[in-house]
Amino acid sequence: MGSTGTRPGRWPVPALVWLVALLWLVLFPRPPGQHGAMPLHGTRAWLSERWRDAGRARVEARLEAAGWHLRAGAGVRVWYPDGEAASAATAGAMLERLLPEVRAMLGAPGPAGAVVVLHPSPGDLARGVGQGAGFDAAGTYHRGVIRLVSAAFWTGGGPDPALAACCVGPAAHELAHWVADVVSRGNLPRWFSEGVAQWVEARLAGGLGPPARPAAGRAYSVLALHWAFGRLPDQDLAYYQAWQFVELLAAAGGPEAVGEVLFRLGRGEPLDRAVAASAGVSFRELERRWRQSVMAGNPWTVQN
């Protein structure tokens, strides 16, 4: 219509930058030490849940279009490709047994409807999450979707339910990520989620632990863990610290403190306040014990 300015149909760049910055500030959980409830918690939680639901719906639609099959059981939906029906039955039964146990550990009566994608190999799983050949994981959790490598890959075996024993750890770990995400309404720093998942995994998989114990005398700061968990150069140390924190939280406030922290995060409380209210000691005090334990190189422990 002869007007000047930005072209119709395009947002001006500064507006987009501000929008992205605002979304990031609103969606990303705040680090411990910043007191006060999350700003706009209801909006943030709602956006986070829509983001998760949309991701899950997109993955399910793609799998269906690609001809994958669905085994819908009690509380768990397992997607699997041709040739994996027996493994899907084994995995489905195992996941249905584990889910109530994970929920009980985290004090969460819900949720149900976990979406699990069963991959024939770690390479197939890596491709499923858009990663290259160097990505090697037995399980992942992202935006409402759990991905696991089929038990048959590890054992080379058939549908014997005993073969699933190899996969209890990764399944419990990823289910815990999902339950924690739902209960906290996305107000969950990644490092704390990894601590919770390892804490659950260690108990439900019979005390399995990572292969290497990090050397004593080193520890990442809580801010480094909060802002850069996945990019820290020593991932063994980062995971070890995350687990140690949840172990100390459970030791201070009892095992139910872990679920209570998640519940409080879901109400918009910042992590330090949720931890203090659930554990009965201040975040600063727990952080002090944590640092001491990590610097001493204390072993991976299962205390309760």
Give the binding-site size for Zn ion (rule: CB under 5 A): 2
Residue 194 vs 247, nearer CB to Zn ion: 194
Residue 153 vs 243, nearer CB to Zn ion: 243
The sign of the CA dihedral 62, 65, 68, 72 is: positive
Q: Closest distance between Zn ion and the C-beta of residue 220, in Å?
A: 17
Residue 60 vs 194, nearer CB to Zn ion: 194
Name the one residue in this structure whose structure tokens are 């039964």. Answer: 93
Judging by beta carbons within 10 Å of its beta carbon (0-12, 13-18, 19+), is residue 83 exposed, middle or buried?
A: exposed
Residue 79 vs 239, nearer CB to Zn ion: 239
Q: Closest distance between Zn ion and the C-beta of residue 17, in Å?
A: 32
What are the residues whose beta carbons fall under 8 Å from the beta carbon of 20, sequence distance 6 or more?
none
Q: Closest distance between Zn ion and the C-beta of residue 197, in Å?
A: 4
Q: Closest distance between Zn ion and the C-beta of residue 173, in Å?
A: 5
270 to 289: interface string for Zn ion, x by CB under 5 A: --------------------
Residues 71 and 82: their CA atoms lie apart, in Å, by 12
Residues 192 and 141: their CA atoms lie apart, in Å, by 14
Residue 116 vs 197, nearer CB to Zn ion: 197
Are 294 and 300 spatial neighbours (Cβ–Cβ below 8 Å)? Answer: no
194 to 213: interface string for Zn ion, x by CB under 5 A: x--x----------------
Question: CA nearest 116: which of 134, 99, 133, 136?
Answer: 99
Q: Which amino acid is at 148?
A: L
Q: Closest distance between Zn ion and the C-beta of residue 290, in Å?
A: 19
Q: Which residue is nearest to Zn ion (CB)?
A: 197
SS3 139: strand
157 to 196: interface string for Zn ion, x by CB under 5 A: -------------------------------------x--
Residue 180 vs 276, nearer CB to Zn ion: 180
Assigned token pair, 164: 């699933």
User: CA gyration radius for the chain?
Assistant: 21
Q: Where are the beta strands (DSSP E) in 131-253?
A: 139-142, 145-149
Q: Is 20 left (phi over 0), alpha (psi -120 to 50) or beta?
A: alpha
Residue 181 vs 194, nearer CB to Zn ion: 194
Q: Does 249 sit near Zn ion (CB under 5 A)?
A: no
Q: Closest distance between Zn ion and the C-beta of residue 75, in Å?
A: 20
Q: Closest distance between Zn ion and the C-beta of residue 137, in Å?
A: 9
Assigned token pair, 219: 């520890």
Q: What are phi and psi of 75, to 5 degrees?
A: 85, -5
Q: Closest distance between Zn ion and the C-beta of residue 177, in Å?
A: 6
Residue 48 vs 193, nearer CB to Zn ion: 193
Assigned token pair, 152: 């048959």
Q: Which amino acid is at 119?
A: H
Interacting residues with Zn ion (CB under 5 A): 194, 197
